[in-house]
């Protein structure tokens, strides 16, 4: 009986790695080709066609797929079937683009984009079941990093060899995604939909999700402006943009993923907003050379990396609050795509006559100002529901002495032993079991034993719940 939790942990760990690999391979194809990808633009340039209408139709279809997926995909088994059928369809759609433009291009883009949006939303089932609640920020970061690295390789093949080579490489990624997806589990999730974490007030969850979606849609208008305003202005630097474009994004994801829990990530959100503003100011004031591109792109894509991980991981934590995680992730990310769509439409309209017009920059700065107004109340509302999240935890914003005091007060309430209190303190600092074992000079299995006792005494199952308990004890009167 004692080995079952450990066995389940390793099964989840394997599922986590497998689902990250599957989704990364699929996402690389989507980013390099379907979603305003370099491969598609290279193909359009080869055949001398204007891709604007197809691009916007594709983005709109992805938005629809994300938004509606939860209505049709309600189990892991259905999610896996969607992956397998869609990946084969995507390969067939990709074959169409080896031939000259036809009506099948438009049909393939629209239907493929709709299914792609559904696949992104359906991944929520594997994100929830394969990764413990407080670790999803790392799973999401790993997926975003790997997919963007593969996307860069496909982009470089399309630009420096030929668009058809890049397309063939992206199809290979899809084939690999299909092969690995065959191994995905179809079992029901271990956590019951009626568990305490999923009995939250649906009204407050809905309101919070709406507020979060509003914030995401507004700030990602800048992403749409980037696609339609910034990128075309540096199109002549193809040798540089083909590989450097996503590097600052990847670097930001890597840094945010590995930041110690004690560092307040909330402040970094404000820094990222400033980076977006500076990038558009630089776009308006600097030239169109390689140095200008490096400065502008580094600021902009670095900020986008910070914010993408922010809302992806927030949505990942919110998956516990609804019985169908595809609805939560789909609705949240549809706001992201909506912002890109709106920004692209606005950017395309204002630069149609003059690409150097300052209007897009002024709009971007206005978006930055609105974002600064929305961020504090958003942070407050999110913190009330997701106190254990890395971007939000109030506990890690407290001085070290106050953290210790709160831990001691909580320990007295639940009669923790001295060693259990020590383990709890290190656990709340974001340390892994291995690090705690080294700090206290005990074995990792002993740490797990103490953690099990701590959780049992508090009647909880996760580090996030322990943080909530500690925070609630702050104002409680001492025991008699």
Examine the pLDDT at 2 and tell me if it is beyond 60. no
Cα first-last separation, the chain:
38
What's the distance, CA 44 to chain centroid? Answer: 29
Average pLDDT over residues 259-286: 81
Q: Are residues 309 and 275 in the same domain?
A: yes
Q: Which is more confident, 348 or 137?
A: 137
Query: For helices 433-440 and 418-428, what crossing angle results, to 10°?
Result: 130
Helix (H, G, I), strand (E, B) or coil at 305: helix
The Cα–Cα gap between 37 and 103 comes to: 19
Task: Out of 329, 356, 388, pick the residue that ends a domain.
Answer: 388
Q: Are residues 346 and 426 in the same domain?
A: no
Q: Are residues 370 and 331 in the same domain?
A: yes
The count of other CB atoms within 10 Å of the CB of residue 162 is 14
pLDDT confidence of residue 408: 57
Q: Are residues 29 and 92 in the same domain?
A: yes
Q: Are residues 366 and 438 in the same domain?
A: no
Q: What CATH number should be reported for the domain holding residue 421?
A: 1.10.10.10
Query: Looking at residue 15, what DSSP letter applies?
Result: H
The Cα–Cα gap between 308 and 336 comes to: 9
Q: Are residues 380 and 418 in the same domain?
A: no
pLDDT confidence of residue 329: 94
Residues in the chain: 480
Decide if 160 is inside a domain: yes
The Cα–Cα gap between 299 and 278 comes to: 7
Decide if 87 is inside a domain: yes
pLDDT confidence of residue 412: 52
The Cα–Cα gap between 145 and 247 comes to: 10
Decide if 213 is inside a domain: yes
Decide if 145 is inside a domain: no
The closest alpha carbon to 256, from 337, 299, 298, 313, belongs to: 313
Interval 322-335: pLDDT, tens: 889 999 999 999 99
Decide if 139 is inside a domain: no
Locus of tokens 């980037």: 226
pLDDT confidence of residue 267: 79
Phi-psi region of 459 (alpha: psi -120 to 50; beta: other; left: phi over 0): left
Average pLDDT over residues 2-21: 64
Locus of tokens 């995905």: 184
Decide if 382 is inside a domain: yes
Least confident segment among 23-32, 193-202, 375-384, 455-464 = 193-202
Q: What CATH number should be reported for the domain holding residue 108?
A: 1.20.1250
Q: Are residues 95 and 237 in the same domain?
A: no
Query: Looking at residue 432, what DSSP letter applies?
Result: -
pLDDT confidence of residue 171: 96
Domain that holds residue 88: 11-132+151-188
One DSSP character per residue, 327-349 reads HHHHHHHHHHHHHHHHHHHHHHH
Q: Which is more confident, 76 or 432?
A: 76
pLDDT confidence of residue 475: 42
pLDDT above 70 covers a percentage of the chain that reads: 78
Q: What CATH number should be reported for the domain holding residue 262?
A: 1.20.1250.20
Locus of tokens 């420096």: 160
Q: Are residues 261 and 230 in the same domain?
A: yes
Interval 83-108: pLDDT, tens: 999 999 999 999 999 999 999 999 99
Q: Are residues 180 and 294 in the same domain?
A: no
Query: For helices 103-122 and 52-72, what crossing angle results, to 10°?
Result: 40
Decide if 404 is inside a domain: yes
Q: Are residues 243 and 178 in the same domain?
A: no
Q: Are residues 312 and 178 in the same domain?
A: no
Q: Are residues 436 and 455 in the same domain?
A: yes
Interval 279-306: pLDDT, tens: 888 888 888 899 999 999 999 999 999 9
Q: How many domains does the chain have?
A: 3
Examine the pLDDT at 367 and tell me if it is beyond 80. no
Examine the pLDDT at 382 and tell me if it is beyond 60. yes
Decide if 480 is inside a domain: no
The count of other CB atoms within 10 Å of the CB of residue 158 is 28
Maximum C-alpha span of the chain = 81
The closest alpha carbon to 114, from 335, 323, 334, 347, belongs to: 334
Q: Taking all residues of the chain, what is their mean pLDDT, rounded to a whole number?
A: 81
The Cα–Cα gap between 284 and 281 comes to: 5
């Amino acid at each position: 009986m004692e080995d079952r939790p450990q066995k389940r942990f390793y099964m989840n760990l394997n599922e986590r790695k497998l689902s990250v690999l599957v989704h990364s391979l699929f996402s690389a194809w989507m980013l390099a080709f379907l979603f305003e990808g370099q491969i598609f633009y290279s193909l359009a340039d080869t055949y001398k066609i204007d891709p604007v209408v197809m691009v916007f139709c594709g983005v709109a279809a992805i938005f629809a797929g994300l938004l509606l997926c939860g209505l049709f995909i309600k189990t892991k088994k259905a999610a896996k079937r969607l992956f397998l059928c869609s990946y084969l369809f995507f390969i067939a759609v990709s074959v169409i683009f080896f031939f000259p433009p036809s009506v099948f291009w438009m049909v393939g883009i629209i239907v493929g984009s709709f299914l792609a949006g559904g696949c992104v939303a359906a991944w929520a089932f594997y994100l929830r079941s394969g990764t413990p609640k407080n670790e999803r920020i790392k799973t999401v970061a790993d997926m975003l990093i790997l997919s963007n690295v593969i996307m860069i390789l496909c982009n470089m093949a399309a630009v420096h060899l030929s668009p058809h080579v890049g397309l063939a490489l992206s199809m290979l990624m899809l084939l690999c995604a299909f092969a690995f997806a065959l191994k995905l589990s179809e079992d029901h999730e271990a956590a019951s939909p009626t568990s305490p974490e999923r009995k939250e007030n649906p009204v407050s969850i809905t309101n919070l999700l709406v507020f979060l979606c509003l914030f995401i849609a507004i700030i990602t208008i800048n992403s749409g402006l980037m696609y339609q305003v910034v990128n075309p202005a540096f199109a002549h630097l193809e040798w540089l943009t083909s590989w450097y474009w996503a590097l600052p994004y990847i670097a930001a994801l890597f840094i945010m993923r590995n930041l110690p829990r004690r560092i307040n990530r909330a402040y970094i959100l404000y820094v990222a907003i400033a980076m977006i503003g500076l990038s558009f100011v630089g776009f308006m004031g600097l030239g169109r050379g390689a140095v200008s591109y490096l400065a502008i792109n580094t600021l902009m894509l670095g900020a986008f990396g910070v914010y993408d991980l922010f809302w992806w991981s927030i949505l990942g934590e919110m998956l516990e609050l609804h019985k169908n995680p595809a609805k939560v992730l789909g609705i949240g990310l549809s706001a992201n795509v909506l912002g890109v769509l709106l920004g692209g439409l606005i950017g395309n309209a204002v630069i149609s006559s003059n690409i150097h017009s300052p209007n897009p920059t002024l709009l971007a700065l206005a978006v930055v100002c609105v974002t600064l107004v929305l961020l504090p109340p958003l942070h407050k509302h999110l913190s009330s529901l997701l106190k254990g999240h890395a971007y939000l935890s109030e506990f890690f914003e407290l001085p070290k002495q106050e953290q210790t005091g709160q831990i001691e007060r909580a320990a007295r309430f639940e009669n923790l032993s001295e060693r259990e209190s020590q383990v709890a303190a290190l656990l709340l600092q974001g340390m892994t079991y291995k690090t705690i074992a080294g700090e206290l000079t005990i074995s990792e299995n002993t740490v797990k034993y103490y953690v099990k006792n701590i959780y049992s005494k508090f009647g909880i199952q996760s580090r996030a719940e322990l943080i909530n308990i500690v925070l609630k004890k702050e104002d409680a009167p001492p025991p008699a």
